[in-house]
Structure 1
Amino acid sequence: MNTQQTALVAGATGLVGKQLVNILLADDRFSKVIIFTRRKTGIAHPKLNEHLIDFDDPGSWAELVKGDVLFSCLGTTLKAAGSKEKQYRVDFTYQYELAKAASTNKVGMLILVSSAGADPNSRIFYSRMKGELDETVQQLNFKKTVILRPSILDGNRQPKRPTEAFSLSLARVLTRFVMKKYRPVADKTVARAMVNSVFSESKKTVFELDEIFAMADE
């Protein structure tokens, strides 16, 4: 492994992505952070390089996906997307196309944020979509693939989502004494786990629920 890494990030403006970019910029093990986004982050840093891209046109950006590790935490909600088809395009297609480009360009690692319950055979659309992506990216030619499947994410979402805030509060109460492995996980915890997984000697590919807390503390 090189002394310093070039990190590629998809989903830099999202809940986990914002934390991830901040951690990478402060980490001396990474000499460059390249992000792929539809809008500017507003971050000015000598290590940061932004590529504003049209995710629907991989041919215009695929050759730019070059570095040491691709961190992929791109995603949306059904409400924000407007339909299952559009959500699938963001959560599956965009992330897969980025991963495929990275694999073609000999990027060594893929670190992907999935979701608890991801299962390609699930009857639940969201879980099935995540499971399909998890399964598909493992067929790409990365030297190392790490998939994190956290429980409900805790963080300062913008804009606020009342329904999600209620679910988060309920989950905090229900998992305080029972089913602790399903407890909400902070955005920064997932981001730390993503970075730590790059340097971990673990041979595992998929990390579920409370295993993410352990990875974040390494």
Structure 2
Amino acid sequence: MPKTALILGASGLIGNQLLGMLASDPRITRIYAPSRRPLSGVGSKVVNSVGDDLQTLLDGLTEPLDVAFCCLGSTIKTAGSRDAFRFSDVTLPVHGGRTALQLGATHYLVVSAIGANAKSWFFYNRTKSEMEQMLMAQRWPHLTIARPSMLLGHRPTPRANELITAPIFKLFPGKWKSIQAKDVANVLWMRAFSPALTAIEIIQSDQLREEAAENQV
């Protein structure tokens, strides 16, 4: 049963929701949540190291871990360049996975994106696929990859493209329909305490939505 957790991206749309769920769960005794900006109102369970370089913060972790979560996610526009986007969405998740594995974690739960595909015409989708493949190569005892569609939820600084496309994605069918960030967080939280069916599990957006509906908190 997981007791100590690492969460990357705790200040983000999904990560903030997940952090709250983990912090209120009596089964979790300690949460390591390194971030670039201080997290507010996180409670006594949370160890929040702060700095501009998340890799260095990860390298400073020495305590044993049971489970790790990665909710990091950006866009090329937000990151500023393709290289910066790849660093945030590939380099950091992979480095986080390597660190957690070295510290004893046996389950890594990671947010990817719908459409992740190494052969996609879109750089965003190819980058997400690259991240997934590199994590699979780490040979985790249990790796869970969530592929949500367009995320819904409050951001302090809204992304312009989401303001335009979110209403459209609400009308899409199946896995392409938009999904609440809290529902993705809910499934990650529940899956962390569920028996592993296979070493690698990929959860598409429609399945995320269905599981969240079954496990409302």
Q: TM-score, normalised by structure 2?
A: 0.90
Match of 2:154 among 153, 156, 160: 156
State the alpha-carbon separation in 2 of the partners of residues 115 and 168 from structure 1. 15
Instruction: Indicate conservation of the 8 Å contact 1:196/1:215, yes or no.
Output: no
1:208 partnered with 2:204: yes
Give aligned pairs, total.
211
In structure 1, runs of 5+ residues without a counterpart are none
Which residue number corresponds to residue 61 of structure 2?
64
Classify the secondary structure of the residue corresponding to 2:140.
coil
Contact 1:62/1:98 (CA < 8 Å) preserved in 2?
A: no
Q: Offset at 1:44?
A: 4.1
- 1:194 to 2:195 alignment: no
Aligned residue in 2 for 1:134 = 132
Q: Does the 8 A contact of 1:106 with 1:142 survive in 2?
A: no
Counterpart CA distance in 2 for 1:161 and 1:126 is: 16
1:116 aligns with 2:114: yes
Show the counterpart of 1:55.
Answer: 53
Decide whether aligned partners of structure 1 residues 181 and 85 sit closer, same or farther in structure 2, where only a CA change above 3 A counts: same
Residue aligned with 2:48, SS:
strand
Decide whether aligned partners of structure 1 residues 194 and 121 sit closer, same or farther in structure 2, where only a CA change above 3 A counts: same
Asked if the contact 1:109–1:142 (Cα under 8 Å) also holds between the matched residues in 2, the reply is yes
Q: 2:6–2:100: 8 Å Cα contact kept in structure 1?
A: no
RMSD value, Cα? 1.7
Q: Distance in 2 between matches of 1:44 and 1:148?
A: 24
Q: Deviations over 1:156-208 (max 9, x none)?
A: 11212232111001111x32xxx233211101000001011112235241111
Residue 202 to residue 181, structure 1, CA distance change in 2 (3 Å) = same
Counterpart Cα distance in 2 of 1:57 and 1:202 = 29
Q: CA deviation at 1:215?
A: 2.9
Specify the SS of the correspondent of 1:120: coil
**Are residue 14 (structure 1) and residue 12 (structure 2) matched?**
yes
CA-to-aligned-CA distance 1:80-115 (integer Å, 9 cap, x gap): 111111111111111111111111222111000000
What SS does structure 2 have at the residue aligned with 1:71? strand
Q: Structure 2 regions of 5+ residues with no counterpart?
A: none
Number of the residue aligned with 1:87: 85
Task: State whether residues 55 and 95 of structure 2, in contact with CA within 8 Å, keep that contact through their aligned partners in structure 1.
Answer: no
Identical residues among aligned pairs (%): 29
Q: 2:100 pairs with 95, 102, 116, which one?
A: 102
Segment drifting more, 44-53 vs 184-193? 44-53
Q: Give secondary structure in 2 for the equivalent of 1:199.
A: coil
Question: CA–CA distance in 1 between the matches of 2:43 and 2:127?
Answer: 35
Question: 1:70·1:102 contact (CA, 8 Å) conserved in 2?
Answer: yes
SS in structure 2 opposite 1:36? coil
* Contact kept? 1:31, 1:47, Cα under 8 Å: yes
**TM-score w.r.t. length of structure 1:** 0.90
